[in-house]
Amino acid sequence: MEKLRQALVNIIKDKKKLRIFLGIESVIFIMLVSMLIFAIINNNKVVETSEAANIEIEQNEIPEIIEEENNEEEQAQELTEEQQKEAEKEENIEKKDDKQNSNNSNKAPSGYNTSYYIKVNYGANVVTIYTKDEQGNYNPIKAMVCSTGRATPRSGVYTIKNSKHRWGALFGGVWGQYTTQIVGNILFHSVPYLSANPSKLEYWEYDKLGTTASAGCVRLKVCDAKWIYDSIPVGTPVEFYSDSNPGPLGKPGAQKISSNETCRGWDPTDPSGNNPWKNVSQQQEPIPTPQPTPTPTPAPTPAQPQEQAQQNNTQSDTGKTEENKSKDEEPKQNKSNSEENKNPTTENKDKEETKQDDNNENNGSNNEDADKNGTQENEENTKDDGNKT
């Protein structure tokens, strides 16, 4: 019994402690909540006051802005005709400068000791080769269609490095023929190949020549890449620029090869003896057809009008036809003459027989006349005998 009493007493004491602890916590919570509410109210007031101040500032600035705009309009209206003319002159000068710059883009600068100078117009995708003459001036000799890319240099002059490869590995696991280094990873090379095999050309990329299609290198036809590989020495300057004008020699064309399934794995300009495009080009060459020789027609005399000349032409044509007819008839006549010569005796016999018939007819007629005369004489004699009786 005593143990139970002590347990009850302990429980009662614990409950009192709990109540005291809960009361303290509730008081602290209420204080925190009230502090938060107070802070929120103060922030709202600050925001409202700042917004009101900003509105007042903006309202004060609006008339100032309007005044500035009006002043600018007045100043623009105050420009005299002379000032406008000066502005037009400046514009004309700028246009002339632009034209000069475009003309200069077609020329190679002087001051270099190299025999060649290369200019890459990445805007028009054209490469122009210049060579130096005896007077030290660079003149254009060759233009090449190309494809540049995003990483192609936008300006500057670089020099050809001593790094050339017959087949060079390119980014993306592809290969290029006749690679020549310009700067860093920027090269002159052919259109990419799937492998180091001239029959594995990426023909869909070849059809893009003349447009921006590479990662940054300067793609060329095989014949052009080989020409640079063979002809351009180390140290040759290469200038990059952009202009809508392709250059002094224009922009060459590029053949589209995707439609030819049998040959499209090859570059049409590849000099390899196994290139199937050579057979295609030979088959496409037209066979010359013999032309008939024109028949000469007599030219009309200056004094004759055109109608008389036409009549003369028709008469000459008819004369030719008659001559041809007479030529055809001559052998016939010769044949008839020969036949007549063969049978002269028969004709003579016929003539003699006709003469004899004529003589017989005359004799017959004479006998008939004699018989008639005889009968008449007999009749007259009978009449005389009758009279006598």
**What's the longest Cα–Cα distance across the chain?**
243
To the query of whether residue 189 is one of the catalytic residues in this protein, the response is yes
The CA distances from residue 50 to 54, 71, 98, 153, 331, in Å, are 6, 31, 54, 53, 132
Residue 36: inside a domain: no
Confidence of residue 295 (pLDDT cuts 50, 70, 90): low
* Cβ–Cβ < 8 Å for 161, 281: no
To the query of whether residue 165 is one of the catalytic residues in this protein, the response is no
- As a whole-number percent, the residues of the chain with pLDDT over 70 amount to 55
Residue 234: inside a domain: yes
Mean pLDDT over 336-342 rounds to 48
Helix (H) / strand (E) element for 64: namely: helix 2-77
Other CB atoms within 10 A of residue 237 CB? 19
Find the range with the poorest average confidence among 90-99, 124-133, 176-185, 257-266.
Answer: 90-99
pLDDT tens for 226-243 read: 999 999 999 999 999 999
Q: Helix, strand or coil for residue 199?
A: coil
Q: What is the pLDDT of residue 316?
A: 54
Residue 162: inside a domain: yes
* Cβ–Cβ < 8 Å for 177, 189: yes
Total number of domains constituting the chain: 1
Three-state helix/strand/coil letters over the chain: CHHHHHHHHHHHHHHHHHHHHHHHHHHHHHHHHHHHHHHHHHHHHHHHHHHHHHHHHHHHHHHHHHHHHHHHHHHHHCCCHHHHHHHHHHHHHHHHHHHHHHHHHCCCCCCCCCCEEEEEECCCCEEEEEEECCCCCEEEEEEEECECECCCCCCCEEECCCCEEEEEEECCCEEEEEEEEEECCEEEEECCECCCCCCCECHHHHCCCCCCCECCCEEECHHHHHHHHHHCCCCCEEEEECCCCCCCCCCCCCCCCCCCCCCCCCCCCCCCCCCCHHHHHHHHCCCCCCCCCCCCCCCCCCCCCHHHHHHHHHHHHHHHHHHHHHHHHHHHHHHHHHHHHHCHHHHHHHHHHHHHHHHHHHHHHHHHHHHHHHHHHHHHHHHHHHHHC
Quote the CA–CA distance of 142 and 187 in Å, as a whole number.
Answer: 19
Confidence of residue 303 (pLDDT cuts 50, 70, 90): very low
The Cα angle at residue 120 between residues 114 and 122, in degrees rounded to 5: 165
More confident residue, 134 or 319: 134
Mean pLDDT over 162-172 rounds to 96
Mean pLDDT over 157-186 rounds to 96
Q: What is the pLDDT of residue 381?
A: 47
Mean pLDDT over 318-339 rounds to 51
pLDDT tens for 135-146 read: 889 999 999 999
Q: What is the pLDDT of residue 247?
A: 96
- Is the pTM higher than 0.85? The answer reads no
Per the structure block, which two tokens stand in for 113? 């000791």
Looking at 146, 189, 223, 263, which residue is catalytic? Answer: 189
More confident residue, 15 or 263: 263
Mean per-residue pLDDT of the chain? 76
More confident residue, 172 or 301: 172
By DSSP bridging, strand 218-220 and strand 186-190 are parallel
Residue 354: inside a domain: no
Q: What is the pLDDT of residue 389?
A: 31
pLDDT tens for 51-92 read: 655 555 555 555 555 666 666 666 666 656 666 777 777 666
Residue 255: inside a domain: yes
Burial of 27 (0-12, 13-18, 19+ CB in 10 A): exposed
Confidence of residue 24 (pLDDT cuts 50, 70, 90): confident
Q: Report the candidate in 176, 130, 170, 122 with the shortest Cα–Cα distance to residue 149.
A: 122
Looking at 146, 165, 217, 263, which residue is catalytic? Answer: 217
pLDDT tens for 307-317 read: 455 555 555 55
Quote the CA–CA distance of 251 and 143 in Å, as a whole number.
Answer: 7
Residue 50: inside a domain: no
Residue 171: inside a domain: yes
User: Phi/psi class of residue 111: alpha, beta or left (left: φ > 0; alpha: ψ in -120 to 50)?
Assistant: left
CATH number at residue 233: 2.40.440.10
Q: What is the pLDDT of residue 89?
A: 72
Helix (H) / strand (E) element for 237: namely: strand 237-241
Quote the CA–CA distance of 226 and 224 in Å, as a whole number.
Answer: 5
Residue 287: inside a domain: no
Q: Helix, strand or coil for residue 193?
A: strand
DSSP state, residue 217: S
Confidence of residue 205 (pLDDT cuts 50, 70, 90): very high
DSSP 112-133: --SSEEEEEETTTTEEEEEEE-
Range of the domain at 162: 117-270
Q: What is the pLDDT of residue 344?
A: 46
Q: What is the pLDDT of residue 130?
A: 97
pLDDT tens for 346-378 read: 445 555 555 555 555 555 555 455 455 445 554
Q: Is the pLDDT of residue 329 over 90?
A: no
Confidence of residue 388 (pLDDT cuts 50, 70, 90): very low
Q: What is the pLDDT of residue 343?
A: 47
The CA distances from residue 246 to 121, 138, 205, in Å, are 7, 17, 21
Mean pLDDT over 325-330 rounds to 52
